[in-house]
Amino acid sequence: MSRPQAKDRRILYGRRRGKPLRKGQQRLIEHDLPRLQITIEEEEIDLPSLFGGEARAYWLEIGFGGGEHLAWQANANPDVGIIGCEPFVNGVAMLLAKLEENGAQNVRLHTDAAERLIERIPSESIDRAFILFPDPWPKSSHHKRRFVSGENINALARIMKSGGELRIATDHTDYGAWILWHMLRSDHFLWQAESPDDWRSRPADWPPTRYEMKAVGKGLRPVYYRFLRKNRA
Ligand X SMILES: C[S@@+](CC[C@H](N)C(=O)[O-])C[C@H]1O[C@@H](n2cnc3c(N)ncnc32)[C@H](O)[C@@H]1O
Residues near ligand X (CB under 6 A): 11-12, 14, 62-66, 85-88, 91, 113-115, 132-135, 147, 209-212
How far is residue 147's CA from residue 135's CA, in Å, rounded to a whole number? 8
Pick 87 or 176: Cβ nearer ligand X: 87
Contact present, 13 and 135 (Cβ < 8 Å): yes
Closest separation between CB of residue 72 and ligand X, Å? 12
Pick 53 or 203: Cβ nearer ligand X: 203
Residue of 135, 187, 197, 198 with catalytic role: 135
Pick 81 or 134: Cβ nearer ligand X: 134
Active site residue 32: no
Closest separation between CB of residue 231 and ligand X, Å? 28
How far is residue 221's CA from residue 63's CA, in Å, rounded to a whole number? 20
Closest separation between CB of residue 175 and ligand X, Å? 10
Pick 32 or 86: Cβ nearer ligand X: 86
Closest separation between CB of residue 140 and ligand X, Å? 19
Pick 87 or 164: Cβ nearer ligand X: 87
Closest separation between CB of residue 18 and ligand X, Å? 10
Catalytic residues: 135
